[in-house]
């Protein structure tokens, strides 16, 4: 499926810029079909590069065509990763008495730093109190 996204991007007359293809290749290299792609993963891969809103939309379309889920809330597997990351962070904080780094949490949890960052971002969204409705 991943090959399908690159095939669509290069062979169907879309005229995708080489920069956009390299961003897609980076994201596709990080994920397997069926994985969730956090929007911050996309932002991280784009970095300081200038891409248009339309190109971002096209990247999302192509990633979804490759069988990836883009910008969706964490599924059951994602929730388990969040739990693992939070547990590792708490353990490290208790042992050291300081806030652990993303890299230290990743080593403790056995996860890449990018996965830890996304899990912490998702955990932060879940823990924030919701505004009261009037």
What confidence tens digit (pLDDT) does each residue in 61-117 have?
A: 889 888 888 887 777 888 899 999 999 999 999 999 999 999 999 999 999 998 898
DSSP 47: T
Q: Is residue 83 located within the same domain as residue 66?
A: no
- Expressed in percent and rounded to 5, the helix, strand and coil fractions of the chain are 65, 5, 30
Q: Is residue 51 located within the same domain as residue 80?
A: no
Position 133 in a domain: no
Residue 131 has pLDDT above 60, yes or no: no
Residue 43 has pLDDT above 70, yes or no: yes
Q: At what angle do helices 53-65 and 2-11 cross, to 10 degrees?
A: 140
Asked if residue 100 lies in contact with residue 92, where contact means CB atoms within 8 angstroms, the answer is: yes
Domain that holds residue 120: 76-127
- In b/e form, how buried is each residue of 79-110, taking b as 16+ CB within 10 angstroms? eebbebbbebbeebeeeeeeebebebbbebbe
Q: Is residue 8 located within the same domain as residue 59?
A: yes
Position 116 in a domain: yes
Q: Is residue 58 located within the same domain as residue 91?
A: no
Q: Is residue 30 located within the same domain as residue 64?
A: yes
Position 134 in a domain: no
Coil vs helix vs strand at 108:
helix
Provide the number of structural domains found in the chain: 2
Q: 15 versus 129: which is more confidently predicted?
A: 15
* H-helix or E-strand spanning residue 73: none
Identify the domain boundary among 43, 70, 97: 70
pTM attached to this predicted model: 0.64
Q: Is residue 25 located within the same domain as residue 64?
A: yes
Q: Is residue 49 located within the same domain as residue 105?
A: no
Asked if residue 2 lies in contact with residue 66, where contact means CB atoms within 8 angstroms, the answer is: yes
**β-strand partners of 70:** 37
């Amino acid at each position: 499926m991943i090959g399908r996204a690159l095939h669509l991007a290069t062979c169907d007359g879309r005229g995708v810029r080489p920069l956009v293809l390299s961003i897609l290749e980076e994201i596709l290299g990080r994920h397997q079909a069926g994985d969730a792609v956090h929007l911050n993963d996309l932002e991280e891969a784009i970095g300081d590069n200038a891409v248009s809103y339309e190109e971002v939309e096209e990247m999302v379309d192509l990633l979804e065509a490759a069988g990836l889920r883009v910008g969706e809330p964490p599924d059951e597997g994602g929730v388990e990763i969040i739990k693992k990351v939070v547990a590792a962070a708490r353990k490290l904080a208790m042992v050291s008495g300081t806030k652990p780094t993303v890299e230290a949490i990743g080593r403790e949890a056995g996860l890449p730093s990018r996965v830890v960052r996304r899990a912490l971002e998702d955990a932060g969204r879940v823990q924030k109190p919701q505004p009261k409705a009037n």
